Copies of this chain bind each other. A is one copy, B any other.
């Protein structure tokens, strides 16, 4: 039986139309060796103009549009893809102006590196239906590096996965432990500064509106027994408590104006226990608190002062301008990009802690009845 048949495999085996041309096909058509054809496309080695022409013509004739990225990335060992891992639903993440800015910086930083950003979700809760169907996790995506974004303990698992795979990884706003470069803020210090500002204005009774304390948090007061697994939340809260040790804290379910509004209503509900200052852990929350204050018939800042955090532009808050800590969000993204770039080239990458800038707006003023006015 051997030796009998034609070699029509290619035509018969592949169902639709003809097989895509490969670089070998091009080379054959052009009458050169595959390696020469390869070089024409990569430009790694000088090629005579005549040869290049022939190869390019052959490619055009065959409809060959360049090396298959899959094969190329196997060969070179690099895919040109940087994974960005979020904890939340992607849509949620992009609702956050700070994350948006970060992505911006990140994209800037990895672009020149020849890499693109692959959006990834953190591990689905194990066993869930979603986990079955889930897309390419850290495990299955062809990543050259990964940037973990977020704060919660859930990151741990992703972190292990990615470290086990031996690809460079950087964490933004989260504690990765050990040897993983970390990009974050002086959250505690910045929050302390805002709180001190309030104290200097004579405020003695403050309340805190925090970001979620963990991923699946529903809004509510934080008790002594509430475990705070989100680093940002914990650190900023610590900064506030450094100055107002007794301040009650209400945790929102997310960084949204509506959440701030809900928290504000709760906080302003009892006239007897009403604070003269509210420390919100994000500008959006602060905007909601301001609105809640108005709703409760309180003037800002005459009756109650409000501070934010982030330094983003909050639409629709005019004429208010939040007193806030401005964080360099885009710079954080850029730094993360630079860090993975360094690691991909084998250079070490250091952790960076960025500093916030205090910005006084018109939402803070002397405490009512205080001598500070």
Residues on A lying within 8 angstroms of B by beta carbon are: 16, 20, 63, 65-66, 68-74, 77, 79-81, 89-91, 94-95, 100-101, 103-104, 107, 110-121, 130, 133-136, 139-143, 161, 164-166, 257, 287, 314-318, 330, 346
Contact of A112 among B74, B89, B133 (CB under 8 A): B133
Do residues B107 and A116 form an inter-chain contact, with CB atoms below 8 A?
no
- Docked Cα-Cα span, A95 to B98, in Å, equals 11
* Pairs A–B under 8 Å by Cβ, sample size 26: A20-B166, A66-B140, A66-B165, A68-B74, A69-B143, A70-B77, A70-B79, A70-B142, A74-B74, A80-B140, A81-B118, A81-B142, A94-B100, A95-B100, A111-B130, A114-B133, A114-B140, A115-B136, A116-B118, A116-B120, A118-B119, A119-B119, A287-B315, A287-B316, A314-B316, A315-B315
**A89 (CB) vs chain B CBs: closest residue:** B104
**A139 (CB) vs chain B CBs: closest residue:** B66
- Chain B residue numbers with a CB within 8 Å of A166 are 20
Do residues A111 and B140 form an inter-chain contact, with CB atoms below 8 A?
no
Output the least CB separation between A248 and chain B (Å): 27
Contact of A110 among B115, B135, B316 (CB under 8 A): B135
- Chain B residue numbers with a CB within 8 Å of A68 are 74
Output the least CB separation between A144 and chain B (Å): 10
Output the least CB separation between A287 and chain B (Å): 8
- Docked Cα-Cα span, A300 to B65, in Å, equals 56
- Docked Cα-Cα span, A94 to B86, in Å, equals 15
Given contacts A65-B165, A81-B136, A114-B133, list 11 more A-B pairs with CB under 8 A: A69-B136, A70-B70, A80-B141, A90-B104, A91-B100, A94-B94, A111-B134, A114-B135, A114-B136, A315-B316, A316-B316
**A142 (CB) vs chain B CBs: closest residue:** B69
- Chain B residue numbers with a CB within 8 Å of A133 are 111-112, 114
Output the least CB separation between A327 and chain B (Å): 16
- Docked Cα-Cα span, A110 to B121, in Å, equals 13
- Chain B residue numbers with a CB within 8 Å of A115 are 135-136
Do residues A80 and B346 form an inter-chain contact, with CB atoms below 8 A?
no
- Docked Cα-Cα span, A160 to B211, in Å, equals 46
Do residues A257 and B315 form an inter-chain contact, with CB atoms below 8 A?
yes
- Chain B residue numbers with a CB within 8 Å of A315 are 257, 287, 314-316
- Chain B residue numbers with a CB within 8 Å of A346 are 16
Do residues A70 and B74 form an inter-chain contact, with CB atoms below 8 A?
yes
Do residues B63 and A142 form an inter-chain contact, with CB atoms below 8 A?
no
Do residues A116 and B100 form an inter-chain contact, with CB atoms below 8 A?
no
Do residues A91 and B80 form an inter-chain contact, with CB atoms below 8 A?
no
- Docked Cα-Cα span, A133 to B119, in Å, equals 22
Do residues B118 and A117 form an inter-chain contact, with CB atoms below 8 A?
yes
- Chain B residue numbers with a CB within 8 Å of A113 are 135
Output the least CB separation between A110 and chain B (Å): 7
- Chain B residue numbers with a CB within 8 Å of A81 are 81, 118, 136, 141-142
Output the least CB separation between A240 and chain B (Å): 25
- Docked Cα-Cα span, A314 to B161, in Å, equals 40
Contact of A91 among B95, B107, B139, B314 (CB under 8 A): B107
Do residues B142 and A142 form an inter-chain contact, with CB atoms below 8 A?
yes
**A76 (CB) vs chain B CBs: closest residue:** B70
